[in-house]
Structure 1
Amino acid sequence: MKIRNRLTLLFTFITASILLIFASVIYLSAKENREKEFYASLKKEAITKANLFLNAKVNSKTLQNIYKNNRATLNEVEVAIYDTSFRLLYHDAVDIDVVKETKTMIGEIIQKKELQFYQKDWQVIGLKYNFQGKNYVITAAAYDEYGYKKLQNLLQSSIVVFIISILFLYFAGRFFSKKAFEPIVEMTNKAKKISATNLDLRISSNESKDELSEMANTFNEMLNRLENSFDAQKHFVSNISHELRTPLSAIITELELSTNKERSVEEYKKAIENALDDAKKLAKLSNSLLDFAKASYDPLEIAFKSVRIDEVLLDARQQVQKSNADYKVTIHFENDFENDNQILVNGNEYLLKVAFVNLLENGCKFSQNHQSQVSISFVENKIALSFSDNGIGILTDDLEHIFTPFYRGTNKVYADGNGIGLSLTKKIILLHKGAISVSSKKDFGSTFSVTIPHV
């Protein structure tokens, strides 16, 4: 069932329930008021007739004739008067006798002074009445035909109005729910048109800052992220294809040339060495791409634990110097740490080592003396790392693009690379809730500043 239909039915049900409760309260109140008013009328009639009989000394026959004459046209009150010894003094119609008084009933009336009850649909009231120092018991009974008719008419009118109200509420609910859901229908139709080929389409927002506008803005923000992600993916795939094609083409060319004709042992060795260099480039590129993919995982899927930064730096230095024997890395603590917690971070040891290796290799690679220095300091709740070198530096125009995947600045003529290292490093540092920045001056070296919160 659609939300629109559910809301319509829910609105109708809730409103109808309120109307039903309201109508029930009115009906029950009218019923209770009718009963009270009629008992009051019976009491008044009983006392009036008792006064006529006891005080005005009106003849019993005259009172009975009045009763019989009135009863022919309306529901006259039937009155009976007893003394306290259950002796009948007066009765409007003994032959009818709706109440059928008993000695027990008279005794209960004397005890309670007033008694109200029903005989079928007839209402009966019994009173203890004092006249000239003597107690009497008066009973009065009548059928409230007019009151019952009014109640019946009220009930019928309430039912008719209730049914009409439900129909009106249902159609009104459908109309208003349709109006309320028109923006959602419009958004749905627009969203159906959006696909991978036209991610530039956006859902209209009415700037009213209501829930629908907020949902539209959230959806548009998601589309912005998707569009950027798709564009980045296209760019990434394009760059990967280019980076893979170059060494593969070189390998194929070397091998084809070496098989065209007989060559000397030295020439074969040279071809194998060239193919091996290109294969190593491919392996390094593949590893970088795997690391880049791992750093792009959901943080919840990456294993984090307490890691000592100094140990990770030492492992990174060892890896760099193992791969390049002429590279030199020095690590310096600018201030002492008071406890182990200051040197601990909540991170992934492998990814942090990848990031530090990239920074150390870059420093050594672009320095004539192949040296890189690392300074460690502790600032409040963060660990500050400074990777510096005395190399060729980075041009100002290249600085703003240095962390873009596959971007290679003018320095690419000095050393081989694939443009993934620094972008991967930044992604890893951000994954650890840290920050990275770079400052550089041509021919005076570069400094990469990294801050990571400690445990």
Structure 2
Amino acid sequence: MLSLRRRLVLVHLAVVLAIVAAAALVGWWELSRSVRGQLDAALLALAETEVGMLADATGGAIHVHEAPAGTAPPSLMRLDRLVQIIDANGNVLARSVNLGVARLPAPQPLLEQLAAGQTVYQTLPHVIEEPLRMVSVPATIGDRALAVQVAGSLDDVNHVLHAAVILFAGMAVSLLAAVGFAGAALTRKIFGAVDDIALKARRIGEANLDQRLPHPGADDEIGHLVDTLNDMLDRLERSFDVQRRFTADASHELRSPLSRLRTEIEVTLRRPRDAAEYIGTLRSCLEEVERMTKLVEELLMLARLDAGQEHTPSETVSLNDLAKETLWRLEPRSREREIKIVLDAGPSVTARIAYGPASLVLTNLLENAVKFSPSGGQVTVRVAADGDSAVLSVDDQGPGIAADDLPFVFDRFYRGAGARAGVVEGVGLGLALSQAIAHAYGGRIEAANRQGKGALFKVLFPLAA
């Protein structure tokens, strides 16, 4: 199969050839019409002159008005012109000397047209050794109906048109050669730049995603292509960095509970113990397994969300009922920490979401609020409508979010200063998972600090019609 470069050159040449051919055809047609028109005008002028002379010579013998040789100045009008005068029946009454014994044709259809007063033009290809162009003009001399026929050779016209064909063909070939050479050079330059970009792009792989394609310096299509590819490389580099960090953090978070689990089992097996100690160890191991199970489930859900596979069909959900049910499930845990969870709900608000994922989002936010709130504190959940969004907000009375941490709270495995210091447990996936779920249903989560003390999270879902 031909390369794109060659196909482009061939298409370019085909278009130019079509345009040149059309222009040459129109030019040749116009030239032919002009040259033949000039010949017709000259023949008609001579015929009308002869008719005028016949009218002036009323009563005399019918003859072609030619000056005897050597008695008049040169007459370019009569040069190579054959003149013949006929009557209504086609009988030849007079002819020019240069016609000799030959006669110009006067068939019956022509006589009928002349009788009707029409001036008739004809092309006669085979009357004599040269093709002729003839005009027949009707004339009335006294009471007689006559016609003057004047013919001229078409050789000069045909030679002019033949020369024009050669000229147009030569110009077309020269133009095609010049345009083809220029087009080939231009496409070679353009595709050479594209090939150079492709070659340099192939050299950029996973190990050197920090490299970028050199910009040609011009603000043209090639420059825009390089800018687009470099932007894509930026996004790929960020994606690979996120993937590497995600893999490293996931490995670390899985390795830590496994190490604790193994250590606890090894310590327990070093010497015989009573049943109570074994039960305590098993319970501790079960807690580690539960934390690992939750971590793996969250990782799997994030992976499915990234791949677009985790999307329960949307339905109309009452956020008031959702908040009540979630608060009821979390009441035992909040009571243990002496945290009061308050629902501030006005009129019923409905959203287009899936109940299960929306409940998981609110559960994660409430668990975070309970973890970071001091004993005796209060967590408030509000339900409201704002424009075309249904809003769930959760605020607490904890320390709030550090300004340095605020832009990163929804990053995967990101843990704030308090969490990193071991003040609260967690692996940093809850908010990332909640944000991914909100995005999957056309919503988002916004994080901020309250004016007083504490953090404020707002979940915005599409409002149900």
With the shorter chain as reference, the TM-score category is 0.7 to 0.9
Alignment match of 1:420 (pick from 406, 426, 429):
429
Q: CA separation in 1, counterparts of 2:415 and 2:89?
A: 124
Q: Does 1:243 align with 2:250?
A: no
1:393 Cα deviation after fit: 4.5
Task: Note closer, same or farther for the CA distance 1:392–1:53 as it changes in structure 2 (3 Å cut).
Answer: closer
1:379 Cα deviation after fit: 2.7
| Counterpart secondary structure, 1:197 | helix
Structure 2: which amino acid aligns with 1:100? P
Give the equivalent residue in structure 2 for 1:215.
225
User: C-alpha deviations, 1:86-144, integer Å up to 9, x for none?
Assistant: 443113446322x3223543232121331111222321211112446754211222322
Give the equivalent residue in structure 2 for 1:265.
275
Give the equivalent residue in structure 2 for 1:449.
458
Give the equivalent residue in structure 2 for 1:340.
none
Task: Note closer, same or farther for the CA distance 1:91–1:398 as it changes in structure 2 (3 Å cut).
Answer: closer
Give the equivalent residue in structure 2 for 1:310.
320
1:146 Cα deviation after fit: 1.3
Task: Note closer, same or farther for the CA distance 1:276–1:212 as it changes in structure 2 (3 Å cut).
Answer: same
Task: Note closer, same or farther for the CA distance 1:305–1:96 as it changes in structure 2 (3 Å cut).
Answer: farther
Alignment match of 2:330 (pick from 320, 328, 333):
320
> Is the 2:64–2:94 contact (alpha carbons within 8 Å) kept by the matching residues of 1?
no
Alignment match of 2:347 (pick from 329, 336, 340):
336
User: C-alpha deviations, 1:12-41, integer Å up to 9, x for none?
Assistant: 222221111111111111111222221222
Question: What RMSD in Å do the two structures reach over aligned CA positions?
Answer: 3.3
Q: CA separation in 2, counterparts of 1:255 and 1:20?
A: 92
Matches within 5 A, 1:219-230: 219-230=229-240
Alignment match of 1:382 (pick from 389, 398, 405):
389
Q: CA separation in 2, counterparts of 1:293 and 1:300?
A: 9
Give the equivalent residue in structure 2 for 1:347.
353
> Is the 1:122–1:143 contact (alpha carbons within 8 Å) kept by the matching residues of 2?
yes
Q: CA separation in 2, counterparts of 1:103 and 1:434?
A: 96
Give the equivalent residue in structure 2 for 1:115.
120
- Count of residue correspondences: 442
1:272 Cα deviation after fit: 1.0
Give the equivalent residue in structure 2 for 1:81.
85
| Counterpart secondary structure, 1:213 | helix
Q: Could you tell me which runs of 5 or more consecutive residues in structure 1 were left unpaired when the two chains were aligned.
A: 338-342
Q: Could you tell me which runs of 5 or more consecutive residues in structure 2 were left unpaired when the two chains were aligned.
A: 126-130
User: C-alpha deviations, 1:49-78, integer Å up to 9, x for none?
Assistant: 556677577996995997xxx9xxx98322
> Is the 1:52–1:58 contact (alpha carbons within 8 Å) kept by the matching residues of 2?
no
> Is the 2:447–2:458 contact (alpha carbons within 8 Å) kept by the matching residues of 1?
yes
Give the equivalent residue in structure 1 for 2:128.
none
Give the TM-score normalised by the residue count of structure 2.
0.84
User: C-alpha deviations, 1:349-382, integer Å up to 9, x for none?
Assistant: 3322221111111122233247532122333333
Alignment match of 1:156 (pick from 143, 149, 166):
166
Give the equivalent residue in structure 2 for 1:15.
16
1:279 Cα deviation after fit: 0.5
1:307 Cα deviation after fit: 2.6
| Counterpart secondary structure, 1:186 | helix
Structure 2: which amino acid aligns with 1:15? V
Task: Note closer, same or farther for the CA distance 1:421–1:141 as it changes in structure 2 (3 Å cut).
Answer: same
Moved more, 166-175 or 202-211: 202-211
| Counterpart secondary structure, 2:347 | coil
Task: Note closer, same or farther for the CA distance 1:221–1:322 as it changes in structure 2 (3 Å cut).
Answer: farther
Give the equivalent residue in structure 2 for 1:45.
46
Residue identity over aligned pairs, in percent, reads 22
Task: Note closer, same or farther for the CA distance 1:250–1:80 as it changes in structure 2 (3 Å cut).
Answer: same
Q: Does 1:291 align with 2:301?
A: yes
Matches within 5 A, 1:44-193: 44-49=45-50, 76-92=80-96, 93=99, 95-97=101-103, 99-120=104-125, 121-131=131-141, 134-193=144-203
> Is the 1:4–1:178 contact (alpha carbons within 8 Å) kept by the matching residues of 2?
yes
| Counterpart secondary structure, 2:346 | coil
Moved more, 190-199 or 257-266: 257-266
> Is the 1:405–1:423 contact (alpha carbons within 8 Å) kept by the matching residues of 2?
yes
Moved more, 274-283 or 430-439: 430-439
Alignment match of 2:411 (pick from 399, 404, 409):
404
Give the TM-score normalised by the residue count of structure 1.
0.85
Q: CA separation in 2, counterparts of 1:418 and 1:166?
A: 71
1:202 Cα deviation after fit: 1.6
Q: CA separation in 2, counterparts of 1:428 and 1:104?
A: 94
Q: Does 1:361 align with 2:367?
A: yes
1:246 Cα deviation after fit: 0.9
